[in-house]
Structure 1
Amino acid sequence: MKKSKLFGAILPIAVPAIFFTLLNYLQKPLTAQTSSVHLTMGNPSNAGSSYSNYLLSKPQYAVSYNCYRGTSNWVSWQLNPSWLGSAPRQDDFRADTTLPSGCYRVTSSDYSGSGFDRGHMAPSADRTNTIANNSATFLMTNMIPQAPDNNQGVWANLESYCRDLVVNQGKELYIISGSYGTGGTGSNGTRTTIANGNVTVPSRTWKVIVVLNRPNSGASSVTTSTRVIAVNIPNTQGIRNANWRDYRVSVDSIEVNTGYNLLSNVSTSIQSTIESRVDSL
């Protein structure tokens, strides 16, 4: 099932819209962004310069950022052995200054006392080859308000499983992670927003993982037998010890819930097979 969704900029009057569009273009040339290795499987929402679907293309990962929610729509990244090493976890959570000036820049303290973790989309442990690359994962544009039991339990176990595929089986992964909906339950109860309304708390967290047998083989190497893992997990407490396998779904179902075209660079005939299937390994 293939559905694409375009997001228009929401600005009050025409003149600022023109100004910010030009400013965004000058700051973030799209020709450079869309060539990112982290978008090998596609740009799921056609992210560009819209404030609800703003493309941040970093050396370490690519982001579709939603200025109105104060979180990413999705984060996409490549994972193979070249990204892994011995660099320590930096824990330098900070605002992302590359966001356009009209977009609220979430800070680490915006999560303080909320009952929600600063939940990484692209994990710190997936970027340990250099200190700079690890540090980049602590930008707040890579965070969502994540229930502690989700983030520290079932979600963390899936992240570890992904790294195991790379380290012990020599796989290369292309991972797309995101959230949707409104309202999650953290350690202080259920909230729809935090940070004085600047950050929306999602109700669901999801991830799609394309597993390739060798590094740098690209979207053209995806076949109908390629393993694709997709999960959709509630953003709530009480699931710390749950098995991530119990939340496996089809890619199609995530597309229905988000409106994204998640593996758009894969041929449509292959997509129709691998996106309708639920992983069972």
Structure 2
Amino acid sequence: MKKKNLLWSVFLLLVLGACDKTAQQVVDDEKQTVVQFTSVVEGDAVTRATGSSWAANDRIGVFMKQAGGTLGAGTIVGEGDNVPFITKQGNGNFLSDGKAIEYPSDGSAVDFIAYYPYQSTLDNYIYKVDVTNQSKPEEIDLLYADNLTNRTATSTTGNLQFYHQLSQLVLNLSSSDNTDFSNLSVTISGVKTKANFNLVDGSLTVDEKSIATVTMRRVGNAAEAILLPANTINGIKLTLTLNGKTKEITLPTSITSLEQGAKHIFSVNIKNGGSQVDPEEGKYAKWRETPVITKNMLEKSNIKYINHYMPDNKKYRNYSLLYDTNLKMAYWVAYPIYEGCVGSFQRQDDWIEDPELDGSLQANFNKAGDMFKRGYNRGHQIPSKDRTGNGAMNATTFYYTNATPQKANMNGQIWARLEDAVRRWNSSVDTVFVVTGAMAKESENDVVKYEVDCKNGKVVVPKYYYKAVARELGSTFYTIAFKIPNDDAIAGRDYMDYACSVEDLEKITGFTFFPTLSADIKRQCDKSKWR
């Protein structure tokens, strides 16, 4: 399997235009529409931009340029040159902080480039990066977005997606003998600290002479630093100082570089003022919809964590899955539905191997074969209809890893109606976050049932399927879950008959869903919010 590093670039969804009728203000004389933003913040790190919400008065910088043009003085449209946008209440609703950006009155299209945090002075569109001082990470946590293109005042809502341009290192601290390390300090030597970020094309140029020592920021029982990306960690060392004693350590061998947008985590055990490096924690790419994956899961040879990105733009996430090569089944497939995912492309049913996993470890669903005769379909976990924006993204839903033997009537009726409902739930919000899964057993004593794929290989038949769903209405998140038997006898029933709370589904499956949402949010199951 091609492993992916932990993408700390868990991204922000900024939506062009507000959600109510006040979102677009029309200037009577010029008939120009004022640009505004609302936002959903993804991530679970501690800085403002990577937390679960913005902070009051956070500001981003926005450029509006001619569609298809290279950012420069000659392509800036109207007043759209490094305009600050602010969320005064920290609720993710961004308004221009002073002058407003207005769409061209002649209907010509524009592109947007945005970054965080805002700088009032830029030299030839160069953003100066300096990570020497780690005391205020929100001031150095650089994000960049350039995906929102070819927009007009009449365009539908679009997502401006920000990605982290730097790297993060997290050192988790523990004590096996109750040593008090509250006064422990950690420094990193041998790192470069300054760079130029080009807002024109999103390129980062590191000042090779800016080698310095950086003091990591203490956050509870951890030390953290936002660093410049580096192709090698040669020469980088950490020094721990406690009660007059120092200990120099090197980074674990598993960390070979500091990737852009990556978060590297490892642990140190503090004992008698000294230290030793413990095995590092499991690292994996995660987003709001990604269930918790434990280190024990990742260490099992039959468990494979796989990420798929949009084939036409590798910046955007498509879906991820936790796959069992013994059962030939994904325990869950996690994915967002946002603008551009659902379109008019008609499925082609071209089933193929998942390119991220050795073919011998997958069930072969090129043809359903005798499974059809016994009443089974090749049931998608992420539905084909959730990825109809174009043919390339739709094709990714026909990977073998995304299919299981699903009872045909159950699949085509109650399950299909639930899938349709999830897509409808996306119509009123920026993003719906979904986890679709399957389980081979109801209880430990259950007998696992198998079918055969088209190559006569064994593939498990799930006992039941489930969905966990989250969406934000206004400034409040709501969740709901469903657990539905893989049984044709219930095909005609209402899927709401099988609704439960996400918390209850967690107890049933053993997985932790939507880890960035509170227990109170996951405890709810208000069907009226989902009718």
TM-score interval (norm. to shorter):
0.7 to 0.9
Paired position in structure 2 for 1:29: 4
**Which of 508, 511, 514 is 1:257 aligned to?**
508
Q: Given that residues 351 and 366 in structure 2 are in contact (C-alpha distance below 8 angstroms), is that contact kept between their aligned partners in structure 1?
A: no
SS of 1:83's equivalent in the other structure is: coil
The whole-number CA distance in structure 2 between the counterparts of 1:157 and 1:53 is 31
Note the C-alpha offset of 1:33. Answer: 9.2
The CA deviation string for residues 43-77 of structure 1, in whole angstroms up to 9 with x for no partner, is 33346464433111001210111101101010000
Pairs within 5 Å for 1:1-281:
24=1, 27-32=2-7, 35=10, 39-46=287-294, 48=298, 50-59=300-309, 60-100=318-358, 104-109=361-366, 111-114=368-371, 115-167=375-427, 169-182=428-441, 192-195=449-452, 196=456, 198-213=458-473, 223=476, 226-266=477-517, 270=518, 272-281=519-528
Output the amino acid matched with 2:369.
S
Q: Distance in 2 between matches of 1:145 and 1:97?
A: 21
Q: In structure 2, what is the Cα distance between the partners aligned to 1:159 and 1:113?
A: 26
Secondary structure, in 3 states, of the residue corresponding to 1:69?
Answer: coil
- Report the Cα offset of residue 32 of structure 1: 4.3
Question: Matched residue of 2:411: which SS?
Answer: helix
Separation of aligned partners in 2, 1:199 and 1:33 = 34
The 2-side partners of 1:259 and 1:110 are apart by 32
Q: Does the Cα contact within 8 Å between 1:51 and 1:65 map onto a contact in 2?
A: no
TM-score normalized with structure 1 length: 0.75
Q: Specify which structure has the bigger relative contact order, considering alpha-carbon pairs within 8 angstroms and separated by 6 or more residues.
A: 1
Give, as a single letter, the amino acid of the residue that structure 2 aligns with 1:177. T
Aligned-pair RMSD on alpha carbons?
2.6
Could you give the per-residue CA deviations for residues 190-235 of structure 1, whole angstroms, max 9, x where no partner exists? 9810125621111111000102238xxxxxx6x4xx2212000011
The aligned amino acid for 2:526 is D
The letter of the residue matching 2:439 is: Y
Residue aligned with 1:89, SS: coil
Secondary structure at 1:72 match in 2 = strand
Which structure: greater helix fraction? 1
- Structure with larger Rg: 2
2:331 & 2:10 partners in 1: Cα distance?
19
SS at match of 1:39: coil
Q: Distance in 1 between matches of 2:327 and 2:492?
A: 29
Query: Which secondary structure state, in structure 2, belongs to the residue aligned with residue 174 of structure 1?
Result: strand
Q: CA deviation at 1:153?
A: 0.7
Rate the CA distance shift 1:175–1:85 in 2: closer, same or farther, 3 A: same
Give CA-to-partner distance per residue, 1:229-274, whole Å, 9 cap, x none.
20000111122221110000121222122211111122xxx2x212
- Residue pair 2:413, 2:492 contacting (<8 A) in 1 also: yes
Matched residues, percent identical? 26
Q: Judging changes above 3 Å, is the alpha-carbon distance between structure 1 residues 34 and 138 closer, same or farther for their aligned structure 2 residues?
A: farther
Instruction: State the AA in 2 paired with 1:250.
Output: S
State the 1:85 CA deviation: 1.6
Assess, with a 3 A threshold, how the Cα gap between structure 1 residues 65 and 239 changes in structure 2: closer, same or farther.
Answer: same
Instruction: Spell out structure 1 runs of 4+ moving beyond 6 A.
Output: none
1:41–1:182 distance in 2 versus 1, CA, 3 Å: closer
Matched with 2:158 is none
Aligned residue pairs, count: 235
TM-score (norm 2): 0.41
